[in-house]
Structure 1
Amino acid sequence: MNRKIEQFKDIIDASNKITFFTGAGVSVASGIPDFRSMGGLFDEISKDGYSPEYLLSTDYLQDDPEGFVEFYHKRLLIADKKPNLVHEWIAQLEKDHRSLGVITQNIDALHSDAGSSKVDELHGTLNRFYCIECHKTYTKNYVMDHHLRQCEDCSNTIRPDIVLYGEVLNQSTISHAIQKIKEADTLVVLGSSLVVQPAAGLISNFEGQNLVIINRDPTPYDREADLVMNDDMVTVVKEI
């Protein structure tokens, strides 16, 4: 592994247009469970006898608005989770003008919390909420501090600004992410299984020199990568 870490360090040092693509694995070190991995949030919810896909769907929002709100207050709102070393390292490379920014499948907003400003959140963010009727917006902190469940203006349901099952990804975000990948000289995939479509398929637009994948388990794109590390990414970042 030392040889691979040295190779990774050399790639980063030689790159000036790095794009990062991150998945749930990046946030595990911050105490946020991976949604689908064994022992993750998916399994935790399933133990209660519910389908996670249904509870995170437009169908559930329409069928039982109060239940939907109760679910996200119980399962999704996180106040005590902070960015970890990986989030901070990615943000620092952006500040140093070495990175084009980060594309993330995560909804936890920890990249923004760490100081990254060029963030394409493919599945939305829990940092924003809005009323489904009048579209008044709220911050996550305001929703949590006031235990808010209904819009203060029209008393309708407020929801997080995330992509639910049954909704399509924001096309402007997708287009911006593709452009960021095409312009990169190095694409670093961190903590993503690269199986959730259409987000994972975006990396096929990479035309640069180095594709690096750091993930605990193998991915469908490992054969196309110039460097693959099945290791803990916090350990890797500490080493470089």
Structure 2
Amino acid sequence: MTDQITKLKTIIDESERIVFFTGAGVSVASGIPDFRSMGGLFDEISKDGYSPEYLLSRDYLNADPEGYINFTHKRLLMSDKAPNPVHEWIAQLEDEGRALGVITQNIDGLHSDAGSTNVDELHGTLNRFYCLNCDAEYTKEEVMEKTLKECERCGGPIRPDIVLYGEMLNQQTISRALNKLTSADTLVVLGTSLVVQPAAGLVSNFQGDHFVIINRDQTPYDNSADLVIHDDMVDVIKALNEQS
């Protein structure tokens, strides 16, 4: 892996407008299970008798708001999870003015927790909640501290600001992500199989100089990338920092 790390360091050092595109694999080192991997959240929640897709759908929210909110509190809110070295490395490059920001498929909010400010969360975030009746907004910290399931203003159910199955991606978020991709000189993909559409298809809009993929498994875009590293990304970033 040494030659790959050296090449990665050269690319990062030469880049001035990096964009990071991240998926669930980035947060595995923080203790958050990959939804679809063996032993991940999809395997865990399917034991409840419903399909994982249904439990994470607008149909379930409409049919049983209380059940959906209880599921959210039981399965999705993870107070003990913190950013790992990958999140911190990405935030540092943004802070240094070398990165345009992050486009992420994740809903855990760990990029923001690590200090990244230009984050396009394609599937929303668990860091924000809002009332279905009056749109009152709450932070994850407020919801967790009070075990808040009903709006303090009107009593309506409170849901996380995430994109459920059956809902559309936010078009403003998509537009910001496209602007990043078309302005970037380097795209670094981390921890995603690049198969979940329409989010994954966004990377085809990148026209910059360097395309890097760091992921344990192969992706449909591997042949298009300048550098592909199939290894643990925390190990990759630690090795990269040791060369700096």
TM-score norm. by structure 2 comes to: 0.97
Partner of 1:202 in structure 2?
Answer: 202
Partner of 1:106 in structure 2?
Answer: 106
How far 1:38 sits from its partner (Å)? 1.3
Q: Map 1:121-160; keep pairs closer than 5 Å.
A: 121-160=121-160
Distance 2:135 2:65 in 1: 16
Partner of 1:33 in structure 2?
Answer: 33
Partner of 1:72 in structure 2?
Answer: 72
Distance 1:155 1:49 in 2: 29
Encode CA deviations 1:90-134: one digit per residue, 9 max, x unaligned.
000001000000000000000000000000000000000000010
Question: 3-state SS of the aligned residue for 1:212?
Answer: strand
Distance 2:22 2:11 in 1: 18
> Does residue 176 of structure 1 match 2:176?
yes
Partner of 2:15 in structure 1?
Answer: 15
CA RMSD of aligned residues (A): 0.6
Distance 2:69 2:184 in 1: 39
Question: 3-state SS of the aligned residue for 2:159?
Answer: strand
Distance 1:204 1:220 in 2: 11
Distance 1:218 1:103 in 2: 20
Encode CA deviations 1:178-228: one digit per residue, 9 max, x unaligned.
110111110000001100000000000000011100001000111111111
> Does residue 61 of structure 1 match 2:61?
yes
2:230 maps to amino acid = N
Distance 1:7 1:220 in 2: 22
2:57 maps to amino acid = S
Partner of 2:6 in structure 1?
Answer: 6
Residue segments in structure 1 that go unaligned for 5+ positions in a row: none
Distance 1:91 1:224 in 2: 26
Distance 1:50 1:189 in 2: 32
Residue segments in structure 2 that go unaligned for 5+ positions in a row: none
Distance 1:52 1:165 in 2: 10
Aligned residues: 240
Deviating beyond 6 angstroms after TM superposition, the runs of 4 or more aligned structure 1 residues are none
TM-score norm. by structure 1 comes to: 0.99
Partner of 1:221 in structure 2?
Answer: 221
Encode CA deviations 1:133-176: one digit per residue, 9 max, x unaligned.
10000010100111111111111111000001110000010011
Distance 1:156 1:57 in 2: 19
2:138 maps to amino acid = Y
1:167 maps to amino acid = E
Distance 1:149 1:134 in 2: 14
How far 1:49 sits from its partner (Å)? 2.6
Distance 1:153 1:119 in 2: 29
Partner of 1:84 in structure 2?
Answer: 84
Encode CA deviations 1:15-48: one digit per residue, 9 max, x unaligned.
0110000000000000000011111101111233
Partner of 2:212 in structure 1?
Answer: 212
